[in-house]
Structure 1
């Protein structure tokens, strides 16, 4: 229990051990996995791993079983014969023989055994690290294969630290190990002594007392640091009198230090290899045990899917690994049955939740497929008026069907069937379409009630289709003003459909507070601009539809806007009739835009403008959809992709070319409506080259540029008036414009010479 109100809640384990003088460490844990120490790590696991390998080798070598001899059975043999026998043993066996009886211990620890038995045993097993010169062979064997008890406090789980030739538990490592910062703080004898001490002090990279994993930095033993400090102080005191002797002593110590460092590195590598081998062996055994658990009688009461799930196998593996279960019987296994039941209870909850999620996803997909199938039976132009899928799934009857087994329908109620959901879904879609149409005509009625002199429309005309009926989407207008994206003006049924779902909660901006109406409304500024444009074309505003003006495809310029000057090109942007209305709505609050003031460009200039315009809608944007199927409703594609899709699936014959607005159409979301790239028309009177062919005769030039073009392209140095033509902006007759003087040409050539084509202007 760990609570701030309890005594010693903030105390560390080594502090409590020092307070009560405990001779053992508290709650040994694996530093890497944060689990209690595994059973295979309890004791010298390297010794256990080697013993297991020796037993397997002996089992394979022995064809028949023999009685195991006792120590007293071989005590009468001569020493020479015993030494020949002992030389064939493993060093681990020699270590165990030393612990069997006093006679064998004395025999193996005398000088003759040192020179023959121990040395030969290590030579027969070269994989074991060689004994260093500063340690005897029996002592080295004890360090490698002795018990895992701390040399300082006697606690368990302390494997040998090869660098220091001793065993330390985690608590003693924290107490007796120094870091580099500690070493630098302790050694303050002179400015150059820190580097010397660092190069002469033994260091270890152990991260814990039981694991052979590397630490992030080197650590030093406190006794070594104290010894090196004393030595540095003595050398500092006798620096003047014994410099040569000190240097010779330092060279010898440095050589010994390098030898010790290389030997420690090789030994640590061998220890880490043995550690990894032990870990893999135990993991393989535990994993096989966890897989065999499915055939145990205790597991027959659980669901087969739970037994075979990876999460259960992993949990059982961890449980068996850290609780010491090696067989599916015995007291250790029986004590783990409660934990096993808990694992399966959690697995059952996860399985039921997964099945519920899969069932809900399958039902949602079934409803989505039905929704797409119903949309395929409707005209493609009406798809934009349909509600969003999120709004469909928020319908109460749809939610009741999807979550029928997870939500309580209440007493006396039953869950709806799929047929009932489909019928209600179709009614809901039709109702949404009708409600949107009612909103449009209600907005027209409100607009007419505010007009002083409302226009009279023929009874056979649907006002929504007229070019003079201009709606605006408040949501897209808000986004355009605050976020700088989106088109708010709606003209015709196609654009009205694109904004049919803007007021849906999923489409509203996050900053919407409900203080303004989100429904479509008729804009008076746009209506006045539309009537003005229709009047310029000489048409009747009460009967002219938006499709009719799209067929005319005329171009205009705003006579109110100030001249732009970008990249040295002065002029006005050319506008389509839809651009004129959007421009007037956006600029209604600006000076000079109280009333619309547009100029209709003659067809001669309009054809030039259309020649230089980029295709619209842009074919490379993902805003296109097939009209024969619903494959592109969820994600639009490019024009080329939808054409390839149509040819592959819907083409009536091999060489049929799909037609726009018949086989595929422009179908963006309201926030994906792209802006048309406008062409800049020069303010000065443009000129046209009469020498170019008809298909290239649509380029417009300044006076200087057309003369340069005639000189460079056609070789005419002194062009006549028949070689070029003035193109008048407006409906006036073309008037002869006198050629400028040489001074005017010189002053303007630097400004107009770089006006290449209308696409640059």
Structure 2
């Protein structure tokens, strides 16, 4: 028989006697872990004084729940045991304390009791300190060997096999140092997850939450005041920096170390001893800080090496999965996912792919169905996204072509919106059903619009006008389509913050009436600017219609027949007596306005219409702005392009001099004749078709001048 260690042979008898007594304790592994945890604070003693020195037990493992067996099964098992006497005899020979031991029974026991000690020590020298620490927890005999003072050389040799590892500090023994380096759980909450935050100055590991909850801030006044004043502001107590957020660290202290230092300091009686103690602690602090820096540098390098190894394993696993997918025809789909943006590589980030575990045949069979299902779903999403991209490009092309055509079209009658074109069956079929490989650009849609738009308008316009008439008939049951042109026909929009006032056909170009962006046109697509026109947000305004009736009657016109064009020609001047302000103030004076601003003014204010004598009228008109600065307030009746009131005459001279006689156009009668060559932009609401102005009587009478409004319409005063 091989030679055994004398120390092991002597302990064999004691160990065999205690096995029977400890049988019940060994069965409960959780109680053993709890007992070991209670001894963790005794690690700073010598090896031979206590076999448990230097060991920190890992977090306890959860107990597995066993299913209850019914009485029938117990009976059947009992009968089977009777039938198989061989297995029954073998089970009876199994010692009770080893009934629940996992793995091959007795190998470590044989190693510790039968293998010569010098061979064991030679084997241990090839291990890392972390391996020695875990090995010491597997067997009582191995623990006795490794935790003895005589085994210190084994730990030192094992530690020296690690490259760039700083030497062991004087305040830690070898198992304690190995525990600090290799046990990756939090020493405060004992959570089993990996905790890679090492507080080297405190000789412990702690997760961020535990560290911030346990250790006081280095600026905490209560913590500072608890220290003796003699070394309060010196570099005596250790300090650690904990990463609180991505851009902020917090410096913390350790109350336990601070209390121990305080007790040591106060135990000294003379001032000379205390000063020497402070100098010694400051030197120790500098040594510990330098050692902590080297340990942190080694720790980060080790983590980086481990990360590189895991990254290589994950890369090999992904390549192995791709090779398996190639065999079943799914690799191309996976590569299409990986070829996209890195932040959207859902294949590489999949939980079954991004694992640091080598792929085996059994492992592939267990994940194959889920991977294929994932790729199938991504393929469906990709096809849908590709179709939506093509639809979006086609919608953008038709939008540009339609905008160009509408900018040159007559808008004095209702004109379809972009959404109405999208949902038209002709263009809906072109956009949806044309093969995706065909390029439908702007020129293509321009030709198609020129071909089909007249028919679309003829089909669309009567229905929408009737829809608007039905809105008006809720207040005027006898109203007809001809009443839309009357000056008393005013609508309001409920979608606007200020409730825009609209006349016919302004509502057909009002944005709120085209906001019903139907997402059903294509999954994930919306009408970006205009949806199909709808009258759901507008209603007939009785109050504004009454104001219009009053203004019309003040101009000696018939409200039942007067149109907006008639009122533009009448161009009545009105004054709001309620808005009059002291003329000596900066924005003071009497407030005047032209048609149709009377309709948009406050309903509770008092208006005076055309009650000014000739001299007063001249003074008022002299204060009126001679033009509007809006660049799109007027449309040319020939080319339908928008212009400002100042630029319209220049436009006529440059573009339409062949059809418009502009000789002596400065004359008011000649210019009034130009009224047939332009019209107000119907895209604007009534509030945008004029500006109110103030008249200050204290100002000297300016030189009489002809205003733009005088040139546009006949004077009614």
TM-score (norm 2): 0.52
Aligned with residue 25 of structure 1, among 59, 72, 76: 59
Instruction: Tell me, in whole angstroms, the C-alpha distance in 2 between the residues paired with 1:138 and 1:363.
Output: 73
Instruction: Tell me, in whole angstroms, the C-alpha distance in 1 between the residues paired with 2:132 and 2:517.
Output: 81
By how many angstroms is 1:599 displaced?
Answer: 3.1
By how many angstroms is 1:572 displaced?
Answer: 1.6
Kept in 2: contact 1:626–1:663 (CA 8 A): yes
Q: Where do 1:504-583 residues align within 5 Å?
A: 518-519=539-540, 523-533=545-555, 535=556, 546-547=564-565, 550=568, 556-558=573-575, 560-561=577-578, 563-565=580-582, 568=585, 571-583=589-601
Change in CA separation of 1:433 and 1:580 when aligned onto 2, cut-off 3 Å: same
Aligned with residue 375 of structure 2, among 324, 328, 344: 344
By how many angstroms is 1:575 displaced?
Answer: 2.0
Kept in 2: contact 1:235–1:246 (CA 8 A): yes
Q: Where do 1:244-643 residues align within 5 Å?
A: 244-280=272-308, 282-283=310-311, 286-287=314-315, 289-290=317-318, 293-297=321-325, 300-302=328-330, 304-310=332-338, 313-319=345-351, 323-326=355-358, 329-355=360-386, 357-358=388-389, 361=392, 379-382=410-413, 385-386=414-415, 388-389=417-418, 429-435=460-466, 438=469, 469-475=487-493, 483=497, 485-488=498-501, 490=503, 493=504, 495=506, 518-519=539-540, 523-533=545-555, 535=556, 546-547=564-565, 550=568, 556-558=573-575, 560-561=577-578, 563-565=580-582, 568=585, 571-583=589-601, 586-587=602-603, 589-590=604-605, 596=609, 598-599=611-612, 604-605=618-619, 608-610=622-624, 612-613=625-626, 615-616=627-628, 618-619=630-631
Instruction: Tell me, in whole angstroms, the C-alpha distance in 2 between the residues paired with 1:229 and 1:499.
Output: 77
Instruction: Tell me, in whole angstroms, the C-alpha distance in 2 between the residues paired with 1:200 and 1:680.
Output: 80
Q: Which runs of 5+ in 2 are unaligned?
A: 1-29, 39-56, 63-118, 120-124, 134-144, 434-447, 519-534, 658-673, 708-714
Instruction: Tell me, in whole angstroms, the C-alpha distance in 1 between the residues paired with 2:314 and 2:700.
Output: 88
Instruction: Tell me, in whole angstroms, the C-alpha distance in 1 between the residues paired with 2:354 and 2:221.
Output: 41
Instruction: Tell me, in whole angstroms, the C-alpha distance in 2 between the residues paired with 1:663 and 1:198.
Output: 89
Change in CA separation of 1:372 and 1:562 when aligned onto 2, cut-off 3 Å: closer
By how many angstroms is 1:246 displaced?
Answer: 1.1
Instruction: Tell me, in whole angstroms, the C-alpha distance in 1 between the residues paired with 2:591 and 2:212.
Output: 82
- 2:694 corresponds in structure 1 to 680
Question: Secondary structure of the equivalent of 2:612?
Answer: strand
Instruction: Tell me, in whole angstroms, the C-alpha distance in 2 between the residues paired with 1:730 and 1:651.
Output: 32
Kept in 2: contact 1:573–1:680 (CA 8 A): yes
Whether 1:666 aligns to 2:678 is no
Kept in 2: contact 1:306–1:312 (CA 8 A): no
Q: Render the CA deviation track for 1:540-581: whole Å, top value 9, x for unaligned.
A: 9898764466467x6734285574216536532232232345
Instruction: Tell me, in whole angstroms, the C-alpha distance in 2 between the residues paired with 1:664 and 1:273.
Output: 78
Kept in 2: contact 1:474–1:519 (CA 8 A): yes
Kept in 2: contact 1:555–1:606 (CA 8 A): no
Instruction: Tell me, in whole angstroms, the C-alpha distance in 2 between the residues paired with 1:19 and 1:346.
Output: 52
Q: Where do 1:120-135 residues align within 5 Å?
A: 128=164, 130-131=166-167, 134=170
Kept in 2: contact 1:98–1:108 (CA 8 A): no
- 1:37 corresponds in structure 2 to none
Kept in 2: contact 1:601–1:730 (CA 8 A): no
Aligned with residue 265 of structure 2, among 235, 249, 260: 235
Change in CA separation of 1:231 and 1:524 when aligned onto 2, cut-off 3 Å: closer
Aligned with residue 200 of structure 2, among 158, 163, 167: 163
By how many angstroms is 1:248 displaced?
Answer: 1.9
Kept in 1: contact 2:633–2:681 (CA 8 A): yes
Instruction: Tell me, in whole angstroms, the C-alpha distance in 1 between the residues paired with 2:191 and 2:502.
Output: 85
By how many angstroms is 1:338 displaced?
Answer: 4.6
Question: Secondary structure of the equivalent of 1:575?
Answer: strand
Q: Render the CA deviation track for 1:468-487: whole Å, top value 9, x for unaligned.
A: x32221436x96xxx4x254
Kept in 1: contact 2:323–2:331 (CA 8 A): no
By how many angstroms is 1:272 displaced?
Answer: 2.2
Kept in 2: contact 1:624–1:665 (CA 8 A): yes
Kept in 2: contact 1:489–1:582 (CA 8 A): no
Kept in 2: contact 1:380–1:627 (CA 8 A): no
Change in CA separation of 1:365 and 1:205 when aligned onto 2, cut-off 3 Å: same
Q: Where do 1:643-662 residues align within 5 Å?
A: none
Instruction: Tell me, in whole angstroms, the C-alpha distance in 2 between the residues paired with 1:313 and 1:576.
Output: 63
Question: Secondary structure of the equivalent of 1:558?
Answer: strand
Instruction: Tell me, in whole angstroms, the C-alpha distance in 2 between the residues paired with 1:20 and 1:625.
Output: 92
Aligned residues: 528
By how many angstroms is 1:250 displaced?
Answer: 1.3
Over the aligned positions, Cα root-mean-square deviation in angstroms equals: 6.8
By how many angstroms is 1:529 displaced?
Answer: 0.9
Kept in 2: contact 1:486–1:673 (CA 8 A): no
By how many angstroms is 1:518 displaced?
Answer: 1.6
Whether 1:179 aligns to 2:215 is yes
By how many angstroms is 1:309 displaced?
Answer: 0.6
Change in CA separation of 1:571 and 1:197 when aligned onto 2, cut-off 3 Å: closer
Q: Which runs of 5+ in 1 are unaligned?
A: 1-13, 29-74, 76-90, 405-417, 450-460, 508-513, 654-658, 699-728, 732-761
